[in-house]
């Protein structure tokens, strides 16, 4: 018996690639999956930005309370205007430091809070408590910060 030698043409005869419609269908399906995933991803990123902004404001409110009681001087947190992405923090009578919230986040209402050395907080504007931190692009994504003016306790109320 003699071994038969295969030609290159015979070897490649059964090898096929993808057809154009198969490739196009795959690309369309990948595009649909990407569109669904990206919209969910951007929602998560926006939610994390609002969480971060809320935690930043709560942290500064607690820090103002702590500094007021430890240094025996008034400390203020001032949110200058509606839909503001900045606020000021520092000792009363001194230079207030401007703090900036993460991108696409804002504080919904203007307010000013003065923390006293005796542990109380005085709201010196009409808005008062609670403070709402929200996304500037999505009105449904927000967190509420509530504080007790007698004890200066601060908590996040979703």
pLDDT tens sequence across 15-56: 678 889 999 999 999 999 999 888 888 888 888 888 999 999
Is pLDDT of 125 > 70?
no
Query: Which is more confidently placed, 97 or 149?
Result: 97
Q: Which long-range contacts link 34-38 to residues 24+ away (Cβ below 8 Å)? A: none
Domains and CATH numbers, the chain: 20-157 (3.55.40.10)
Place of tokens 């071994």: 3
Is pLDDT of 13 > 80?
no
Q: How many CB atoms lie within 10 A of CB 28?
A: 10
Rounded (10°) CA dihedral 36, 85, 118, 67 = 90
Instruction: Confirm if 65 and 57 have CB atoms less than 8 A apart.
Output: no
Question: What is the SS3 string spanning the chain?
Answer: CCCCCCCHHHHHCCCCCCCHHHHHHHHHHHHHHHHHHHHHHHHHHHHHHHHHHHHHHHHHHHHHHHHHHHHCCCEEEEECCCCECEEEEEECCCCCEEEECCCCEEECCCEEEEECCCCCEEECCCCCCCEEEEECCCCCCEEEEEECCCCCCEEEEC
Please tell me the distance from the alpha carbon of residue 8 to that of residue 13, in angstroms, as a whole number. 9
pLDDT tens sequence across 94-122: 889 999 998 888 888 888 889 999 988 88
Confidence (pTM):
0.74
Per-residue pLDDT band at 11 (split at 50, 70, 90): low
Predicted pLDDT of residue 126: 60
Instruction: Work out the average pLDDT over 119-135.
Output: 77
Task: Provide the token pair at 32.
Answer: 């649909």
pLDDT > 90: percent of the chain: 32
């Amino acid at each position: 018996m003699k071994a038969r030698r295969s030609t290159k043409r015979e070897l490649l005869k059964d090898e096929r690639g993808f057809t154009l419609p198969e490739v196009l269908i795959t690309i369309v399906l990948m595009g649909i999956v990407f569109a669904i995933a990206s919209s969910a991803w951007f929602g998560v990123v926006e939610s994390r930005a609002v969480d971060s902004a809320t935690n930043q404001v709560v942290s500064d409110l607690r820090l103002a309370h702590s500094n007021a009681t430890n240094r025996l001087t008034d400390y203020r947190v001032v949110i200058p205007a509606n839909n503001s992405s900045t606020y000021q923090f520092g000792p009363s009578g001194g230079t207030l430091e401007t703090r900036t919230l993460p991108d696409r986040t804002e504080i919904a209402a203007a307010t000013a809070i003065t923390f006293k050395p005796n542990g109380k907080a005085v709201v010196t504007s009409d808005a008062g408590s609670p403070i709402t931190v929200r996304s500037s692009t999505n009105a449904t994504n927000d967190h509420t910060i509530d504080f007790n003016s007698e004890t200066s306790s601060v908590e996040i109320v979703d």
